[in-house]
Structure formats: structure tokens, C-alpha cells
């Protein structure tokens, strides 16, 4: 069952706050990565490259967590738990959009041999403090 994002989650995502993505390694240990995110309705989307550890983890186990800390008050945070789906459609465009939002410029670390994907997290639980 999906849930709506809280107002705090929307505010932090819309403010271009860095998110920490948590996935599960094959041995059950956690793996975390910092990602740029944006909202699409109540879904949270980000971009990554096929073949990376986080991508392999999400392909095997789609349950993930995204945590965002308020830069003005790091004791205030939101955790979005959900299931992720991935598609190659729109991957290069999304990373350019996110780069403009987070850095003010184009994404320049493109490797032509890589396949960039859009990851969509549909929330099933949203926690905040």
C-alpha cells in the first residue's frame, strides 16, 4: 500500500536536499549512497548507472530507504521507505535536470559507455522527526 509524502518530505525534496539511499547487499548488509532527488507526485526519483552496486542491489531487492536531513536543522529528518522501479527511458535527461537544480550547471561526468537509468521510489512508509 502506497502512502503520500509528508509536507516536510516535500519541502526537503523541493529544496534540493541531498538524500542518502540505502539498499541491501547480497549478504544482507546495508549499502548507502548520496543521491540527488526530485518529486514526481508522491514518488521520489533519482538517476544512477546500470552495473553499480546500488543498481544491482535494487534489481535484486527493490525495497529501499531514502533519508533527507534538514540542512538548517540536521536533527529534523525524513525517511522515505518504498519500492523502486527502474527504466532506461529518460535517464540522461533526468541527470541533466538534477545537475541544474543541485549545481546550477550541466552534468559533465558522462561516460558514453554507461547506461543511465531513472529510479522511481514509491513510498510505503514515511517517517519524520
For residue 82, tell me if it sits in a domain.
yes
- The predicted pLDDT at position 86 comes to 98
For position 110, what pLDDT does the model report?
Answer: 76
How much is the pLDDT for 112?
82
- 24 is in which domain, residue-wise? 7-128
Q: Which three cell numbers stand for residue 31?
A: 549499502
pLDDT (0 to 100) of residue 111: 83
Is 87 within the bounds of a domain?
A: yes
The CA distance from 129 to 127, in Å, is 7
b/e code 49-83 from CB counts within 10 Å (16+ = b): beeeebbebbeeebebbbbbbbeeeeeebbbbbbe
| 2 in any annotated domain | no
**pLDDT at site 113:** 85
Asked whether 96 and 33 are in contact (CB, 8 A), the reply is no
pLDDT in the model for residue 93: 96
DSSP secondary structure code for residue 89 in this structure: T
* Residue 1: predicted pLDDT: 87
Which residues in the chain land under pLDDT 70? Answer: none
pLDDT value at residue 64: 99
Average pLDDT in the chain: 96
Residue 101 is predicted with a pLDDT of 96
Cell numbers representing residue 8 in the block = 516536510
| Whole-number pLDDT of residue 13 | 97
Q: Specify the CATH number for the domain of residue 93.
A: 2.30.110.10
In a domain, 13, yes or no: yes
Examine residue 1 and state whether it is found in any structural domain, yes or no. no
DSSP character at residue 128: E
Counting the structural domains of the chain, the total is 1
For residue 117, give every residue at least 6 positions away whose Cβ sits within 8 Å of its Cβ, in sequence order, or none.
47, 48, 49, 50, 55, 86, 87, 88, 91
Amino acid at each position: 500500500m502506497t502512502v503520500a509524502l509528508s509536507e516536510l518530505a516535500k519541502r526537503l525534496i523541493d529544496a534540493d536536499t541531498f538524500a542518502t539511499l540505502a539498499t541491501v547487499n547480497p549478504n544482507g548488509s546495508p549499502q548507502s549512497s548520496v543521491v540527488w532527488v526530485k518529486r514526481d507526485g508522491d514518488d521520489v526519483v533519482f538517476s544512477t548507472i546500470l552495473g553499480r552496486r546500488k543498481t544491482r542491489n535494487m534489481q535484486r531487492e527493490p525495497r529501499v530507504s531514502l533519508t533527507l536531513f534538514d540542512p538548517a536543522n540536521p536533527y529534523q529528518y525524513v525517511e522515505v521507505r518504498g519500492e523502486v522501479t527502474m527504466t532506461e527511458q529518460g535517464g540522461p535527461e533526468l541527470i541533466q535536470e538534477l545537475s541544474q537544480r543541485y549545481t546550477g550547471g550541466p552534468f559533465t561526468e558522462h561516460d558514453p559507455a554507461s547506461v543511465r537509468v531513472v529510479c522511481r521510489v514509491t513510498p510505503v512508509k514515511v517517517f519524520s522527526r
